[in-house]
Amino acid sequence: MALDLDPGTAALGNPRLIAAIVAEMDGGAIPFQRFMELALYHPEHGYYRKRGRIGRQGDFLTSPVIHPMFGWAVAGWCREAWERLGRPSPFTIFEPGAGEGHLARAVLDWAEGRDPAFAAAIRYIALEPNSPGDDPRVSWQTPPAAPAEAGVVVANELFDAFPVRLFEATPRGPAEVYVRWDGEQFVEERGPIATIDDAPAEGRFEVNPAAYPAMASLCGLVERGAVLVFDYGYPQEELWAPWRTQGTLLCFYRHTAHENPYIHVGEQDLTAHVNLSELLAAIDDAGMQAWGPVSQREFLYSLGLPGLVEAARGDLQEYFTRRRALEQLTDGAGLGRIRVIAGTRGIEGAPPGFEPLP
């Protein structure tokens, strides 16, 4: 005989996480920002509390997991900063949101294989509160961290994972989006009207309230040195362009992008593009020289990444592996459209990748 096989809330995602969110709602509604925070970072059931989310077996790819070449490029950039600072020791590399350590491993391997003096100077601190890696060369810490005298802060796709406030333009001004449980699923409702300078007059848009203070905090981690940031984003005039009426909120589930944050709850990534104008303002306000934005494609080509591909011609298998990786890392429709910005203090001249065009 046929049984009643309705999966209930399991059809919408992790039933324990859904129950926790519904319990917090307590019959009412919560801001979308809080919903996103619980979906991604709930202490027990949040998406990022579990390992294996990033990579070919996970839900999405980031540059460090494509090929170590990305980390080698970052390592070379850090080594140039170290040289310009007078080769200080220790030289601290901070990586907030380090995940399982793909970037750290590539950077440290490059340093050990290329420049023993640079490798000996490095103190690598991974700031990862969720599911840290286990490389013994890395100091795995939970934020906040003590500042260093000299070093570099490297943040790869950090800010686009911050929970965002979601707004919908109305004739009275931007109304914040709230989320409630209707007994069967999560649904939206309009919340209070907010006052936001230069807010779009139509459609939906996001505000990332933690981005500016987090960027300012990262700049404070090094007294002399640099911050290097890779993230999906635009300057504010592009992010809130009149034609961008649906905002930038996206969900990634098993390498498929879609726009419904209320399914696969706790089992999919939620992300929104970053306001680069705010990040650059934070760098400037922190007393650093701001650089960029440039695309990741421009940045990696400027650093000479194609040369690493050509260097492997003697090993055809590795050559084609690197060539495919270069295509992925610089694809203008994918990872290549990530924007790169930097801030420097105590370093003369433009850092690599940000030199003025001839």
**So what's the pLDDT on residue 86?**
97
Q: Secondary structure of the chain: what % helix, strand, coil (to 5)?
A: 35, 25, 35
pTM: 0.93
DSSP letter at 289? E
**So what's the pLDDT on residue 49?**
83
**So what's the pLDDT on residue 356?**
81
- Residue spans of the chain under pLDDT 70: 5, 51-60, 131-132, 255, 357-358
CA distances to 97, 127, 154, 257 from 93, in Å:
13, 11, 7, 32
Question: Are the C-beta atoms of 274 and 206 separated by less than 8 Å?
Answer: no
Angstrom distance (rounded) from CA 94 to CA 77: 14
Q: What is the pLDDT of residues 264-275, one digit of tens each?
A: 999 999 999 999
Question: Are the C-beta atoms of 80 and 111 separated by less than 8 Å?
Answer: no
**So what's the pLDDT on residue 144?**
85
Q: How big is the chain by its Cα radius of gyration, in Å?
A: 22
**So what's the pLDDT on residue 129?**
78
**So what's the pLDDT on residue 357?**
67
Q: H-type helices in the chain, by residue range?
A: 15-25, 32-41, 63-66, 68-84, 102-114, 116-121, 211-219, 236-239, 276-285, 296-303, 305-310, 316-329
**So what's the pLDDT on residue 293?**
97
Q: What is the pLDDT of residues 277-313, one digit of tens each?
A: 999 999 999 999 999 999 999 999 999 999 999 999 9
Token pair of 174 as six digits: 């931007």
Angstrom distance (rounded) from CA 6 to CA 114: 58
CA distances to 34, 142, 299 from 82, in Å:
40, 25, 19
In which residue are the tokens 């390992």 written? 51
Angstrom distance (rounded) from CA 279 to CA 185: 36
**So what's the pLDDT on residue 233?**
96
